[in-house]
Amino acid sequence: MSVNPADSAIFGGLFGTDEMREIFADRRYLQRMLDVEAALARVEAKLGIIPAAAAQAITAAASIERLNLGEVAASVPVVGYPVVAVAKALGRAAGGDAQRYVHWGATTQDILDTAIVLQIRDGLARIEQGLIAIGGALAEKAGVHRDTVMAGRTHLQHALPVTFGYKCAVWLAPLLDHLERMRELRRRVLTVQFAGAVGTLASLAERGRAVTEGLAAELELAAPLAPWHVNRERFAETACFLGLLCGSLAKIATDVILLMQTEIGEANEPHQPGRGGSSTMPQKRNPIASEYVLAAARGVHALVPLMLNAMAQDQERATGPWQSEQLALPQIFVLTDGALAHATALARGLTVDAEKMRRNLDATQGLIMAEAFMMRLAEKIGRDEAHHAVQEACGKALEEHRSLVDILAEAPEIASQLDRAALDRIADPASYLGEARSVADRVIERARAMIGERMPGP
């Protein structure tokens, strides 16, 4: 039974992926706890703290198949955590003298936190795959549509011409930043937690640091300078990073929804029979992928504050804030992966109607080129006077439903400075794109440098 749609057998495909749910599933979490316990035993055996035979037996027994999940489930409401039941079950499975050495010198939170770090490592690897996939798709679109001129819009109104390749590059640029941000994030977040009861590892005396560093090396994690069991910025930073990523995906989804409006019709989500349909209106092709990108992103943004609030940890072991993280972090990963999957499919299959872009560009009969006219005129009569003259012409063009070029050509103060041939040249939207093509080129170049051979070819 599922209460959260992201975990539902029916609705789960709309909000997440099975691959990310598997990373944070109960069985995987318990297996990660066993992985940490086994690694701890091996390290302590190498340091002569426990017998080598005990470490071998513990490692051999550290499999989820050796656990009775019913016993673990029954223990958790009583104890508050699964580690006690897991450690006992591991000891029984290891058998003999090895039982005495399971969980040696550790505390519950050491195992839970380090297991979560291992889950985060797997989760970030999947997020990276998604970023590479959507990055390649958007870079390809930016290249294909480098010269596809369309209306740039501010406040939802025509502003200046841009290209669709430029728009794709603007979508892509922050995703490349996120890819770099995530690679930096790993250095801080993928850190072992092994600190004992209050962080001092007193139970291991002078060998505590050696065990910490050995455990980190065994699990291919970093060793912290100080215990972080009550310093939760690593997990909070991970959540914030995923929140930023979702914000960038939501920007793409919002733009696609607007471009798909019937009155705009410049781009459409990839279509298949029945997709985005209506129960009453046969003509509908709703922006379903974009809608669920937005829904997942809003879910993540609602959960990030819970992770930030959990940073207020009391003394040397928190009474609630730490435990609340489990309500948010797995869902943040699942929802982010769901948003990324939808956005990637959208980026790969987005259909672009260049003819409709051109018709929309021409819909205002040249008004979108008002700044271009003003700037050329300003070279001759000054900016303020040019702005006033072109603004008056725009008002007249709107009132009379006529071409702006015709109105400008009829104005003596303008015609005396710019003849009709010059006005016609300025009126071409492709002549006033500024940095649009260069922006696309720069972003594509950075994508190729970061993603390399994993990107589609030119």
Q: What is the pLDDT of residue 457?
A: 46
Residues β-bridged to residue 382: none
* Active-site pick, 2, 278, 431, 438: 278
Place of tokens 């490592």: 121
Q: How confident is the model at residue 334 (pLDDT cuts 50, 70, 90)?
A: very high
434 — alpha (psi -120 to 50), left (phi > 0) or beta? left
Q: Write out the CATH class of domain 367-426.
A: mainly alpha
Stretch 1-6: mean pLDDT:
75
Give the integer Cα–Cα distance in Å for 187 and 237. Answer: 12
Residue limits of CATH 1.20.200.10 in the chain: 5-358
Q: Write out the CATH class of domain 5-358.
A: mainly alpha
Other beta carbons less than 10 A from residue 306's beta carbon: 18
pLDDT tens-digit series, residues 193-236: 999 989 899 999 899 999 999 999 999 999 999 999 989 999 99
Give the integer Cα–Cα distance in Å for 391 and 397. Answer: 10
pLDDT tens-digit series, residues 347-360: 999 999 999 999 99
pTM over 0.75: yes
> Which one, of 93, 97, 102, 106, lies nearest residue 64 by Cα?
93
Give the integer Cα–Cα distance in Å for 6 and 296. Answer: 9
Q: What is the pLDDT of residue 349?
A: 93
Reduced to 3 states (helix: H, G, I; strand: E, B; else coil), residue 50 is coil
> Is-catalytic flag, 301?
no
Region of poorest pLDDT, from 147-156, 282-291, 397-406:
282-291
Phi/psi at 162 (5° precision): -135, -170
Give the integer Cα–Cα distance in Å for 173 and 135. Answer: 9
Stretch 150-171: mean pLDDT:
96
> Is-catalytic flag, 278?
yes
Let me know: does 404 contact 367? Beta carbons within 8 Å.
yes
pLDDT tens-digit series, residues 417-444: 989 999 999 999 999 999 999 999 999 9
Q: What is the pLDDT of residue 282?
A: 59
